[in-house]
Chains A and B, each alone.
Chain A
Amino acid sequence: MSRFSLSDKAFDRLNFLFVLLITLIIIYPLIFVISASISDPHAVNTGRMWLWPVDVTFEGFQRVFQNDAIWTGYKNTILYTAVGVIIHLFVLLPASYALSRKELMGKKAWLWFILFTMLFNGGLIPTYLVVRNLQMLDTMWAIVIPGVVGAWSILVARTFFQQTIPDQLVEAAKIDGASDIYLFFKVVLPLSMPIIAVMALFHGVALWNQYFNALIYLRSEDKFPLQLILRQILILNEVSADSASSAAGSAQSFADQIKTASLVKYAVIIVSALPLLIVYPFLQRFFVKGVLIGSVKE
């Protein structure tokens, strides 16, 4: 027996405390942001607010809703996410299904063709030049097409189809004279709602949260997604709180601008994360499922 021995009961207590501590550390910043978004910025900036809201005000949210740039960004992000997810499913699902079928010839070659891109890619600059040569710069397509599907998603979806669509089902339908296209839409897709949901969610979250493609491919501000607007407000501190205040900029006191900035800051974080915050508790198990299907090694 080792000299270091901890009774099981003591271990249980220590372990409980350990997990509790980690959880508190992780959620504290989130609670802080939520509280700060409805607190008086002066209280936040002077350190009076550290957990629960102090001097509750909804001015921050009002300013956010008055801000045209944020609205435009929000609208763009919703558009890019919706269009991007649809194209993603359109590219991903038929191919993953075809790859799961034994009738498809050259399966090894297809898989190599796809998997090789995990190992090697041309890199930032050559990809940028392709997008530029396709005249996609400063259009929505530069956001939704590059990265529309990854090798990982194809493998995951293919594994799902292999496991859930029995060969007999396909063969029986074919004997009845069904075409592959008919079969795919009328039989396979209705049986595949879990994987469709998982894939749409993963890709949707990624699109909602990404800023880099927009940073390099977009020029016009009216096409910027929310994340780029957030970058301006949160990181570059380029706050044009609303059109009225920037017009009266000189009249407005410096302190007032700073106040506006910190007011908008926390509220805009909440507003941007709102869709995810709302759906996350309900969809968490789907996300977890997605990770787990993906980890099945063949």
Chain B
Amino acid sequence: MAKDQSIQKGRGATIKKNFLRNWQLYLFMMPVFLYFFIFHYIPMYGVQIAFKDYYATLGIWGSQWVGFEHFERFFSSYYFWRLLKNTIILNLYMLVLFPLPIILALAFNELRNGAFKKWTQTLTYAPHFISVVVVVGMLVAFLDPNTGLINHLLRLLGMDTIPFLTSPDWFRHIFVWSGQWQTLGWSTIIYLAALAGVNPELHEAAKVDGATRVQRILRINIPSIMPTIVILFILNIGNFMQIGFEKVLLMQNTLNSETSDVIQTFVYQTGILEGQYSFAAAVGLFESAINIVLLITVNQIARKVSENSLW
């Protein structure tokens, strides 16, 4: 007992001593602490409005509890299934293209001409720095039914013009492939770094055994960067449901909303535009919940199957 107490006392004294000696380090933490507290933890506390009827005059705490009323209203509304379906299909579509940057990185890695490699990398990275507004602006210009480049081409080939941006059938393709255009090059960077770390002795040994380039890519390069692939895949899933919502919002119009209405744009519309704060917060919370469940599930699976995981 007495010993325990003296240890505790000793620990208390150490903490005090540490603080007195290093108080400036704690001062350094203050801006980050305040920022995360105010802009991340207070909103987490504020999520409770999803279960309340929020009135600004009553405040978050003073507003009435209504339980799952907003969730029930959302689940039973006619647009619920449409939103869920659109969100899932759009994200699955993007997920299916996950291997593309890996393929391009493998191709970059095999280039023997240093200058060509450097130039093609610099050029393919460039679209990453273009703002999403400009990308959608370019889509509007290129896909215009009358003046757009693509429709001129279709006309040249004797085909009918297509009103791409107002067509629900085209929305997903345009969204996903313009996204690939923008991020494909940039996404290769991490894989290229992983490829640079592949043990050259493996390649030497394989060469001695008469393996071709293609065989060495398949048997050495791809297995070597597998851990990186798995980690990035999990991170991708973690962002499932919320990738690129700002771009969806820009591309959305009343004519293509049948496929372009996703959960996040709905939150924006009902919450910010219509001021139904509680309802929109409930919809947003539903989405975050799915995200977390997905992330944890995929992480568990990855840990079991490949021994690579985020945690």
A residues near B (Cβ < 8 Å) are: 2, 4-8, 11-12, 15-16, 18-20, 22-23, 25-27, 29-30, 32-33, 36, 44-47, 50, 90-92, 94-95, 97-99, 101, 103-105, 110, 113-114, 117, 119-130, 134, 145-149, 154, 179-181, 184, 205, 208-212, 216, 227, 230-231, 233-235, 262, 265-266, 269, 272-273, 276, 280-281, 284, 287-288, 291-292, 295, 297
Contact = CB atoms under 8 A, between A and B. Distances in A.
A114 B277 CA distance: 26
8 contacts: A16-B116, A99-B29, A104-B29, A123-B43, A181-B27, A234-B137, A234-B138, A235-B133
Nearest to A228: B133
A126 B44 contact: yes
Given A129-B49, A234-B141, 7 more contacts: A15-B107, A26-B123, A125-B272, A126-B42, A179-B24, A234-B133, A234-B136
Given A94-B31, A284-B125, A12 B110 contact: yes
A90 B31 contact: yes
Contacts of B280: 124-125
B28 A94 contact: yes
A126 B49 contact: yes
A11 to B, nearest CB: 5
A211 B149 CA distance: 26
B193 interface: yes
A23 B39 contact: no
B127 A235 contact: no
A30 B141 contact: no
Across the A-B interface, the 6 shortest Cβ-Cβ residue pairs: A122-B43, A234-B137, A47-B152, A126-B46, A209-B131, A94-B28
Interface string B103-128: 01001101111001001101111110
Contact of A181 (B18, B24, B246): B24
A149 B184 contact: no
Given A26-B127, A33-B138, A235 B250 contact: yes
B28 A95 contact: yes
Contact size range, B: 35 or more
B68 interface: no
Contacts of B142: 29, 32
Contacts of B213: 6, 8, 11-12
Interface stretch (B80-88, B89-97, B281-289): B281-289
A70 to B, nearest CB: 13
B15 A105 contact: yes
A125 B49 contact: yes
Contacts of B214: 4-6, 11
B134 interface: yes
B171 to A, nearest CB: 15
A269 B130 CA distance: 10
B288 A121 contact: yes
A28 to B, nearest CB: 10
A289 to B, nearest CB: 10
A295 B190 contact: yes
A26 B124 contact: yes
B36 A114 contact: yes
Contacts of B31: 90-91, 94-95
A121 B250 CA distance: 23
Interface string B220-261: 000000001001000000000000001001100000000000
A121 B138 CA distance: 32
